Amino acid sequence: MAIFDYPIFDEIRRMNKRQVAYQVLNFAMIVSSALMIWKGLMVVTGSESPIVVVLSGSMEPAFHRGDLLLLTHNREDPIRVGDITVFKIEGRDIPIVHRVIKVHETASGEIKFLTKGDHNQVDDRGLYAPGQYWLTDKDVVGRGTGFVPYVGMVTILMNDYPKLKYTVLGLLGLFVLIHRE
Amino acid sequence: MHSIWSRANSVFAFTLTAMSAVTFAVFLSTIWSQRVTDVTILATNPRVRVMPDYISESGRSDHAMVSLNIEADVSPIFNWNVKQLFMYLVAEYKTPKNTINQVVLWDKIVLRSERSVVIETNAAPKYYFIDDGQHLRGHENVTLYLKWNIIPNAGYLANAKAEGSYQVKFPSQYVSGRF
């Protein structure tokens, strides 16, 4: 147990049960606050994924890899041409952020639309599921309403280097547990 | 309070807070800025043909062509929080099959420069103007208007419609042969 002889762990050795419980409670408070903020955002924006990170360069030069998009999903407001929609193809998990270039709406309100990335030469029909030529409301995760550059780079780095993700999370957890303030 | 780690920690936390505050201020400062301006749109030589289309239920769809003339001076839209404008021309019309049809015919990315003026003369549409059905022949009321998506440096992604549209009337006969 030589590792616990370092001064950084003095705090733990001096703690009694009540202080340990306090630290754990502190940790739980931080985690649940983060969760509340996330779920609160989901309710306010109406989207199951209120913040997405742009993963590909298909919308350059507007959005680059690592930019952050705030999504809202207002089902009352119909999809119109020019909207930046985030959608998921049936059977695939990855959300795609592209622009709507064609909309056809019937009298009963059924909408079918076609998307294309700004930087792509062709529209997205090649990306849709086999036999699917149009997207509908149920494929939509949300519409891009807000934009913050670069901030999402952290998520991309953590996804590309999973070891980095575990190290950062591990270190964070450790520091919250052993730090008194 | 004097170790290198606590100093680095304070500096890092303060930098993050300051940058978030400035980003938010940049967003707030341009909420009410001008988004719309006047444009001139003219479409000449409208023609329609019918083409085989594997996507439609009937197997055939109307395909329309026009010659586009666009004049837009968007310099007043560029403020310090505008990264670029994504400008696109929309053809909107109503058919017996669909109450609303919107097709993007042409788009352009307008980057920041000394004076941003877009002038297109007799340009061909960038994208196929294909109807969902065969309702463009003889259509009297296809409206062309210009919209742009204002991409900010940080903040709200706005879609604005410019003042100035053009109504296209398509001939009642199909064109055959070369288009």
- In Å, the largest CA–CA distance within chain B is 84
For this structure, is A124 an active site residue?
yes
Coil/strand/helix, residue A98:
strand
Choose, from A47, A67, A83, A124, the residue flagged as catalytic: A124
Looking at residue B99, what is its pLDDT? 92
Contact B88 A82 (CB under 8 A): yes
Looking at residue A12, what is its pLDDT? 58
Query: Domain check: are B49 and B122 in the same one?
Result: yes
For this structure, is A98 an active site residue?
yes
Domain annotation covers residue B178: no
Q: pLDDT tens across B91-147, in order?
A: 999 999 999 999 999 999 998 888 888 999 999 999 999 998 888 888 889 999 999
Q: What would the mean pLDDT of A110-118 be, rounded to a whole number?
A: 92
A126 φ/ψ angles, rounded to the nearest 5 degrees: -65, -20
| B-chain residue closest to A146, CA distance | B156
> Which two tokens mark B174?
């199909």
Note whether A124 contacts B: Cβ–Cβ < 8 A: no
Query: Domain check: are B71 and B111 in the same one?
Result: yes
Query: Domain check: are B80 and B26 in the same one?
Result: no
Query: Domain check: are B24 and B41 in the same one?
Result: no
Q: Is the pLDDT of residue A123 over 60?
A: yes
The model's pTM: 0.83
Choose, from A58, A67, A73, A139, the residue flagged as catalytic: A58
Query: Domain check: are B49 and B80 in the same one?
Result: yes
Q: B6 pLDDT band (50/70/90 cuts)?
A: confident
Cβ pairs bridging A and B (under 8 Å): 74
Q: Is the pLDDT of residue B157 over 80?
A: yes
Q: pLDDT tens across B165-179, in order?
A: 999 999 888 888 766
Q: With contacts defined as CB-CB under 8 Å, which chain A residues touch B90?
A: 81-82
Q: What would the mean pLDDT of A91-103 be, rounded to a whole number?
A: 89
Q: Is the pLDDT of residue A180 over 60?
A: no
Residue B111: give the domain boundaries.
34-168
Q: What would the mean pLDDT of A102-116 be, rounded to a whole number?
A: 92
Domain annotation covers residue B77: yes
Q: What would the mean pLDDT of B152-167 be, rounded to a whole number?
A: 91
Query: Domain check: are B17 and B59 in the same one?
Result: no
Domain annotation covers residue B164: yes
Q: With contacts defined as CB-CB under 8 Å, which chain A residues touch B132?
A: 104, 112
Q: Is the pLDDT of residue A11 over 70?
A: no
How wide is the angle at C-alpha B118 spanned by C-alphas B116 and B121, nearest 5°? Answer: 160
Q: With contacts defined as CB-CB under 8 Å, which chain B residues touch A149?
A: 153-154
> Which two tokens mark B101?
């049809």
What is the overall mean pLDDT for chain B? 89
Domain annotation covers residue B108: yes
Q: B68 pLDDT band (50/70/90 cuts)?
A: very high
Q: Distance from B83 to chain A by nearest Cα, in Å?
A: 8
Element (H, E) at B85: strand B82-93
Query: Domain check: are B20 and B84 in the same one?
Result: no
Contact A146 B111 (CB under 8 A): no
CA distance B71 to B130: 25
Domain annotation covers residue B174: no
Coil/strand/helix, residue A35:
helix
Single-letter amino acid code for the residue at B173: Q
Coil/strand/helix, residue A17:
helix
What residues of chain B, 57 to 86, have a C-beta less than 8 Å from chain A?
83-84, 86
Looking at residue A14, what is its pLDDT? 63
Q: What would the mean pLDDT of A31-59 be, rounded to a whole number?
A: 90
Q: pLDDT tens across A137-177, in order?
A: 989 989 999 999 988 888 888 888 888 888 888 887 777 66
**Of residues B98, B127, B152, nearest to A104 (C-beta):** B98
Query: Domain check: are B65 and B114 in the same one?
Result: yes
Q: Output the domain CATH number for residue B45.
A: 2.60.40
**Alpha carbons within 13 A on the beta-carbon side of B139:** 26
Looking at residue A93, what is its pLDDT? 83
Domain annotation covers residue B173: no
Looking at residue A174, what is its pLDDT? 74
Looking at residue A4, what is its pLDDT? 58
Looking at residue A24, what is its pLDDT? 85
Looking at residue A23, what is its pLDDT? 82
Query: Domain check: are B67 and B56 in the same one?
Result: yes
In terms of C-beta density within 10 A (0-12 exposed, 13-18 middle, 19 or more buried), how is residue B144 classed?
Answer: buried
Query: Domain check: are B52 and B82 in the same one?
Result: yes
Query: Domain check: are B144 and B96 in the same one?
Result: yes
**Of residues B84, B154, B157, nearest to A61 (C-beta):** B84
Q: B54 pLDDT band (50/70/90 cuts)?
A: confident
Question: Model ipTM?
Answer: 0.86
Q: Is the pLDDT of residue A90 over 90?
A: no
Query: Domain check: are B28 and B42 in the same one?
Result: no
Domain annotation covers residue B175: no
Q: Is the pLDDT of residue A181 over 60?
A: no
Contact A82 B104 (CB under 8 A): yes
Domain annotation covers residue B176: no
Looking at residue B175, what is its pLDDT? 86
**Of residues B88, B90, B109, nearest to A61 (C-beta):** B109
User: What is the total count of domains within chain B?
Assistant: 2
Q: With contacts defined as CB-CB under 8 Å, which chain B residues touch A122?
A: none
